[in-house]
């Protein structure tokens, strides 16, 4: 996709001469300097965010800049959180919940720029509280481009949420990412794996008191639950399909190496990968960096776009089924608050945890299935994934 990849803070009013060429905005330093002078804040944050702020239409704090009270006492600066797939469902609800606190500037990392802009506006997110940046997780080049754009924007990174996902329950044949990997695993796992690995450096550099990297998991990837036992069950086997490249034609498009493709299983498998990756990140980096790594099951958000490819009857019956029969239903707004908690609640700093919520909506550390907590499998997954995303 063309470089609308550009950084577009929602409040950015693009000068007439740059209309249609947002990249130019990024490069125009003259435009910057003027505004930098007007800023009363310490220029701790690199220039672009200052520039973006300078043309903001609302008087908000520079993303990531430290703030001062009237007595000039230094207070906690606004945190910067990147949320993938913030154009709908859980990602959008969490973006809104975090932005509304005023404590967070949300970078909405989305594949459909205009959809994200409409979604943020429609959700009533205040101008200046978010920035939209292009990210297509189905392309490793796009992931690298996103990281590059984010860094050029000059904001610090205090939290990363790997939230985007696709679910192809009715697909009987695989589709493939730009790099040739089966799409569900390519987007949900490999794209996020590369993103998390690259942005780890940025999180490491942040001076924010609690830095967090959150990856969405799910109950359906955990076979120690009733929901995880509804066929097709998740299962990575010995990862032979993944090791073979997940390309379908000369091997399998399924991680466990199955000959036939099953879109529902591919999604559930990708969620095991997400939960294993979080734990492997924790084992490798928590002690050294102090970063909190976490995963969660936000509840069954039966109304989101995740089920867009399911048959109409399923989409009609699934919400009432979850509301009245399983009672596992949670609204998008409530799930957004849950995810926001994992990003910012001062009491949720424990690393390596898979969070869930009980009926009173209190969070608790949940137990992962044996497979989703197998350290040997996590290591193997890590090593194969590293090769596929070009890091090893
Ligand atoms: P949605 O479909 O509403 O949101 C998914 C988001 O991912 C959308 O913004 C979508 O973008 C984005 N996305 C899809 N493909 C790509 C891509 N290639 N590059 C970048 N972004 C992409 O689903 P949910 O909100 O329900 O799902 C969010 C997370 O929650 C997922 O990780 C899911 O596994 C998890 N989850 C959901 C549950 C539920 O019950 N819904 C239960 C447990 C976990 P676009 O808007 O352009 O389509
Ligand atoms: Mg499931 C306690 C019961 C429970 C919970 C919490 C969920 C969550 N589901 C439960 C039970 C059942 N489901 C039962 C008894 C059935 C058989 C009727 C059932 C069926 C079912 C289907 C067909 N459920 C589903 C599907 C999907 O296509 C969803 C899916 O697997 O998406 C990957 C789904 C889900 N059920 C859930 C949750 C949270 C989902 C969506 C999932 C996710 O993102 O992991």
- The answer to whether the complex's ipTM is over 0.90 is yes
Could you report the per-residue pLDDT of 52-62, keeping only the tens digit for each?
A: 322 222 334 56
Estimate the share of the chain in helix, then strand, then coil, as percent rounded to the nearest 5.
45, 15, 45
pLDDT at 8 over 70: no
- For residue 250, pLDDT over 90 is answered with no
Closest C-alpha residue for ligand 1 atom 42: 300
Q: Which atom of ligand 1 sits closest to the CA of residue 274?
A: 32
Other beta carbons within 10 angstroms of residue 334's beta carbon come to 16
pLDDT band at residue 249 under the 50/70/90 scheme: confident
Mean pLDDT of 59-79: 63
Q: Is the CB of 328 under 6 A from ligand 1?
A: no
Among the ranges given (53-62, 133-142, 305-314, 382-391), the one the predictor scored with the smallest mean pLDDT? 53-62
DSSP 136: -
Q: What is the pTM of this model?
A: 0.88
Residue 45 has pLDDT above 90, yes or no: no
pLDDT at residue 201 is higher than 80: yes
The residue ranges of DSSP E strands in 267-347, in sequence order, are 292-296
Choose among 166, 380, 150, 141: nearest CA to 256: 380
pLDDT at residue 392 greater than cutoff 90: yes
Higher pLDDT, 40 or 360: 360
Q: 159-162 and 79-84 as β-strands: parallel, antiparallel, unpaired?
A: parallel
Of all ligands present, the nearest one to the C-alpha of 90 is: 1
| DSSP-assigned letters across all residues of 179-246 | TSSBHHHIIIIIIHHHHHHHHHHHHHH---SS-EEEEE--GGG-TTSSGGGSSSPP--TTSHHHHTTS
Percent of the chain whose predicted confidence (pLDDT) is above 70: 81
Q: Is the beta carbon of 279 within 6 A of some atom in ligand 2?
A: no
CB 270 within 8 A of CB 131: no
Burial class (CB within 10 angstroms; exposed 0-12, middle 13-18, buried 19+) of 291: buried
| pLDDT value, residue 248 | 81
Nearest Cα to Cα of residue 293 among 204, 362, 384: 204
Residue 105: enclosing H or E segment and its boundaries? Answer: strand 104-110
Q: Whose CA is nearest to atom 4 of ligand 2?
A: 227
pLDDT, residue 62, reads 60
Ligand 1, from 305, 330, 331: best to mutate by most atoms within 8 Å of Cβ? 305
Say if residue 103's pLDDT is above 70.
Answer: yes
């Amino acid at each position: 996709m063309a470089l609308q990849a550009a950084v577009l803070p929602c409040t950015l009013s693009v000068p007439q001469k740059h209309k249609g060429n947002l990249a130019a905005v990024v490069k125009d330093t003259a435009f910057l300097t003027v505004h930098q002078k007007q800023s009363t804040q310490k220029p701790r944050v690199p220039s672009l965010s200052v520039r973006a702020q300078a043309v903001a239409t609302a008087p908000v704090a520079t993303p990531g800049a430290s703030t001062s009270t009237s007595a000039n006492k230094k207070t906690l600066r606004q945190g910067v959180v990147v949320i993938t797939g913030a154009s709908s469902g859980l990602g959008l609800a969490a973006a809104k919940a975090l932005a509304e606190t005023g404590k967070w500037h949300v970078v909405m990392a989305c594949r459909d720029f205009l959809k994200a802009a409409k979604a943020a506006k429609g959700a009533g997110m205040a101008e200046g509280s978010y920035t939209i940046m292009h990210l297509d997780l189905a392309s490793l080049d796009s992931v690298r481009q996103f990281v590059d754009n984010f860094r050029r924007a000059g904001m610090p990174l205090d939290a990363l949420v790997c939230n985007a996902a696709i679910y192809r329950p009715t697909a009987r044949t695989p589709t493939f990412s730009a790099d040739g990997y089966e799409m569900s695993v390519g987007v949900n796992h490999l794209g996020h794996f590369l993103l998390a690995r690259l942005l780890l450096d940025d999180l490491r550099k942040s001076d924010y008191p609690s830095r967090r990297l959150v990856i969405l998991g799910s109950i359906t990837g955990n076979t120690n639950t009733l929901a995880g036992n509804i066929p097709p069950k998740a299962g990575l086997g010995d990862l032979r399909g993944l090791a073979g490249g997940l390309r379908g034609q000369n091997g399998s498009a399924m991680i466990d190496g199955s000959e036939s493709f099953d879109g529902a299983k591919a999604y559930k498998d990708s969620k095991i990968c997400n939960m294993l990756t979080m734990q492997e990140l924790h084992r490798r980096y928590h002690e050294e960096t102090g970063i909190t790594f976490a995963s969660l099951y936000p509840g069954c958000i039966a109304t989101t776009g995740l089920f867009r490819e399911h048959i109409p009857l399923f989409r009609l019956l699934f919400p009432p089924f979850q509301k009245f029969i399983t009672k596992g239903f949670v609204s998008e707004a409530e799930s957004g608050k849950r995810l926001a908690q994992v990003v910012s609640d001062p009491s949720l700093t424990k690393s390596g945890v898979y969070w869930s919520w009980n009926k009173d909506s209190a969070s608790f550390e949940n137990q992962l299935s044996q497979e989703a907590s197998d350290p040997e499998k996590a290591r193997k997954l890590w090593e194969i994934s590293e090769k596929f995303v070009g890091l090893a």
